[in-house]
Amino acid sequence: MTAMTMNQRVHFITVATGDLDAIRGFYLDGLGWSAVLDVPDEIIFFQVAPGVLLGFFHADKFRADAGAGAATGTPVATAPGGFNLSHNVESPAAVDGVMSAAADAGARIVKPAQRGAFGGIYHGMFADPNGMVWEVAHNPNWRIDDDGTVHLGA
């Protein structure tokens, strides 16, 4: 029908949350992040990569936004499951440091920092107040070129 395709590009990562104030407390106050846009009782956006925003969207509005389709098979949970976000750092010591900083900010430790089962990494995992899991990792087989190209593998 159309010759159009979908470019290989993510612009927003949007997460439903039941408690936007807890999200603000953790990311703004706990971690010291800055918001691109913060709409009370609705949504808060953080820039997390070139051209990419991470948004925490009030769960009622997230569901409303998904529309009727959400009621017919699309899972629209408040506490997200089945995915995580990763934050890579330059050394195992930096993994320990970031995990401590997250715990100090109120994160729940899901997996204490340790050698990982895959890829020769050293990593830990924590959950934010919404239950969303962040992996904090040092991955010796990962690098980003100056132009943003990512390389993986030995």
Can residue 147 be called a binding residue for its own copies (CB under 8 A)? yes
CB 115 within 8 A of CB 61: no
* Residue (21 or 29) nearer to its own copies, CB: 29
Can residue 22 be called a binding residue for its own copies (CB under 8 A)? no
Site for its own copies in 50-89 (CB under 8 A): 50-54, 59, 61-62, 64-70, 73-88
Identify the residue whose tokens are 């997996």: 111
Site for its own copies in 99-128 (CB under 8 A): 100-102, 104, 108-111, 116-118, 125, 127
* Residue (21 or 128) nearer to its own copies, CB: 128
Two structure tokens written together for 15:
């997460």
C-alpha to C-alpha distances, 29 to 23, 34, 44, 81, 114, nearest whole angstrom: 9, 9, 14, 25, 27
Two structure tokens written together for 81:
């499951």
Can residue 28 be called a binding residue for its own copies (CB under 8 A)? no
In this structure, the number of other CB atoms found within 10 A of the CB of residue 130 comes to 20
The DSSP code for 61 is H
In angstroms, give the least distance from the CB of 35 to its own copies: 10
* Residue (21 or 84) nearer to its own copies, CB: 84
For 45, half-sphere exposure in the C-beta direction (CA atoms, 13 angstrom radius) is: 12
* Residue (21 or 153) nearer to its own copies, CB: 153
In angstroms, give the least distance from the CB of 148 to its own copies: 3
